[in-house]
Amino acid sequence: MSLFNKKYRTLTDEQLMELVAEKDKQAFSELYDRYSTALVNYFFRMLWKDREKSEDFMHDLFTKLIQKPHLYQSGRNFKTWLYSIANNMCKNEYRKQEVRKNTVNMDTPNAMGEDGSEAIRSMDRKDFDKELELALAELDEKKRAVFEMRFHEDLSIKEISEALECSEGTVKSRIFYTIKFLNGKLKHFEKAVNAILLIICSMLY
Amino acid sequence: MKRKFKYDPEDLESLLLNKRFDELYPEEKEFVLRHMDSAEEYASMRKTLLSIVEQPDSGPAIRPRSSTKRKLMREFEDEKTATWQVWLNGIFLPFNRRPVLSYATLAVILIVGGLFFFNQSDTDKVMLAENKEQPKEEQQEADKTDDLEKNLEPADNSSEEPENELPSAETEEELEEELPSVDESETIQSTQKEEIEINEDVKEDAVMDLQVAEATNKTTKDMETPADSEISNERKVTAAESEPSQSTEELAESIQPQIVREEVADEKLTVTETNTDSFMMDDQMGNMYEQTTMQSQDIVVGKEARLEVEPTSMSKASFLLQNLHTSM
């Protein structure tokens, strides 16, 4: 059994997917092990950190692989294909939850309020993350998808362009404007950022 | 001269991540300042980006539940089986899953089964037909023997419908085959004539004997009581059936069908010897000899059978005729 597992571990994603199309159970298991955690986290971040929803979405995504493996075009990068499906699922969910999104925006505390106090400015990392999440929630779905893929899933520009079916220039441009937007939103965390940078640098060096 | 920039605006990310503003080359600074207002903004953006990139996860990475994998693997198994059972799910699985395919599958199976069944029955028919071919020949032979047996019946019946006894075209050919050729028939005719002349005397003696026997029977019958007559009848029956029947049965069993036919042919010739009336007529008719001999043979056989023990089979007749020959 371990011999077979070893064999499957050496195969590429694309080879495994072709085996899945031939109803190879072990190949499917290997693909699941490779991408289930990343995908469930991707959905978790993209879908308002809803654990149940992210689990459901990840399950649905792999069900699609089981039911329609022929949709995968051999020669295409499997990872980008997988994330393009995940991204489309998220887009559909955004459309469904548009009202909810608006509700979230309405409920979002005015962290960038002009009356920002010292308490907010001295937020720790946890607070920064929370603010970042709120800022990301304000992003449109395209920029958010690019941001998540680029900075959380570690996809290359090329992979993102393939996943989102757009040019690499468009992906880079979206990344730049996302950073600019977040910089404007998180400017009041400058001190905290500086502190974090100091910590990171001290750890690195 | 217009300056060519090395970097595209899309590459700002890499610049922000890798270089401080003061580390940028002059052309890079020019490029950055085209998209940003100042060096401060660059520094601020860089810090934000680094904080995002270096941001440790807000918590431990979410691990998918193990139940999710089990569920998916089960779905994979179901899908795997469904692909090959899709055409047979109506047979092995409940009909409510894919009823159309189920009924279609059932229909296909029924059609194929029906075709197979009818093909089998056709082959049986062919085999029967083939088997019947063999009995047909035997049937023809049996018919011929039946016809001959019918001819063994009393002469009154044969005289009533003489035309029916004429051989058909088919039997004529067969009889021609059985009958000897012209040369042979001439020699046979000559020998038969000689035999007839010799046997006429014997026949007359036989007739005389019969008359004497009938006269004696009449006298004994008059003297017998009813009980005696019954006993005597039984004796006659046993006497008539015992020895000849045993011998005829043995002959019938021992003789092959082909041989029987030959014997029948011989009997035809020999039987004609016994009927003097018809025989004389045949003798005088010259060219019609062959056809008339057939008739005369049949008639004579019938007469001979009636005179003796009314045999029911050709073998009995042959036995009687053999006896006649030996007696002569």
Chain B environment of A146 (Cβ under 8 Å): none
Q: What confidence tier does A60 reach under pLDDT thresholds 50, 70, 90?
A: very high
Q: How far is A152 from chain B (nearest CA, A)?
A: 8
CA distance B192 to B108: 76
Residue B231 has pLDDT above 60, yes or no: no
Query: Do the chains contact at B50 and A183, CB–CB below 8 Å?
Result: no
Most confidently modeled range among A51-60, B30-39, B126-135 = A51-60
With tokens 């980008």, the residue in question is A80
Contacts of residues B275-279 at CB distance under 8 Å and 24 or more positions apart, as own/partner, are B275/B299, B275/B300, B275/B303, B275/B304, B276/B196, B276/B200, B276/B203, B279/B196
Using pLDDT thresholds of 50, 70 and 90, give the confidence band for residue A61: very high
Window A:113-132, CB contacts with B under 8 Å: 125-126, 128-130, 132
What are the structure tokens assigned to A104, written together? Answer: 């979230």
Burial class (CB in 10 A: 0-12, 13-18, 19+), B83: exposed
Q: Which of A181-190, B19-28, B60-69, B103-112 has the lowest mean pLDDT?
A: A181-190
Confidence of residue B34 (pLDDT cuts 50, 70, 90): confident
What's the ipTM?
Answer: 0.71
Q: Which helix (H) or strand (E) holds B277?
A: helix B276-284
Whether A1-97 shares its CATH topology with A108-205 is answered no
Check if A175 contacts B (Cβ < 8 Å): yes
Number of C-beta neighbours around residue A134 at 10 A: 18
In terms of CA atoms, which chain A residue is nearest residue B53? A151
Q: How far A100 CA lies from chain B's nearest CA (Å)?
A: 23
- Which A residues 138-167 touch B at CB under 8 Å? 151, 157
Q: Which of A23, A37, A189 is nearest residue B83 as measured by Cβ atoms?
A: A23
Where exactly are the structural domains of chain A? 1-97, 108-205
Calpha distance B13→B15 (Å, rounded): 5
Higher pLDDT, A97 or A91: A91
For chain B, give the percent of residues with pLDDT over 70.
32
Q: How far apart are CA B4 and CA A175, in angstroms?
A: 23
Burial class, B40, CB count within 10 angstroms (exposed 0-12 / middle 13-18 / buried 19+): exposed
> Which residue type occupies B75?
E
User: Which chain A residues are within 8 Å of B75, Cβ to Cβ?
Assistant: 63, 66
B105 three-class SS: helix
Picking from B145, B125, B94, the residue whose alpha carbon sits closest to that of residue B301 is B145
**B72, B75, B77, B78: best mutation site toward chain A, by most A Cβ within 10 Å?**
B72
Rounded CA-CA distance B310/B71 in Å is 97
Work out the average pLDDT over A167-188: 84
Q: Mutating which of A64, A67, A176, A187 best tests the B interface, going by the most B Cβ atoms within 10 A?
A: A176
Coil, strand or helix at B180: coil
**Is CATH 1.10.443.10 the right assignment for the domain spanning A1-97?**
no
Q: Give the largest CA-CA distance in chain B.
A: 170
Yes or no: say if A38 and A46 are a contact pair by the CB < 8 Å rule.
no
Q: Which CATH class is domain A108-205?
A: mainly alpha
- Contact state of A25 with B77 under an 8 Å Cβ cutoff: yes
Tell me the CA distances in angstroms from A58 to A21, A68, A98, A179, B270, one per residue in order. 19, 15, 21, 28, 109
Burial class (CB in 10 A: 0-12, 13-18, 19+), A86: buried
Q: Do A62 and B72 touch (CB under 8 A)?
A: yes
Query: Under the phi-then-psi rule, with left for phi > 0, alpha for psi from -120 to 50, and beta for the rest, what region is A49?
Result: left
- Cα(B309)–Cα(A10) distance, integer angstroms: 106
- Range list of β-strands (E), chain B: none
What band does B110 get if pLDDT is binned at 50, 70 and 90? very high
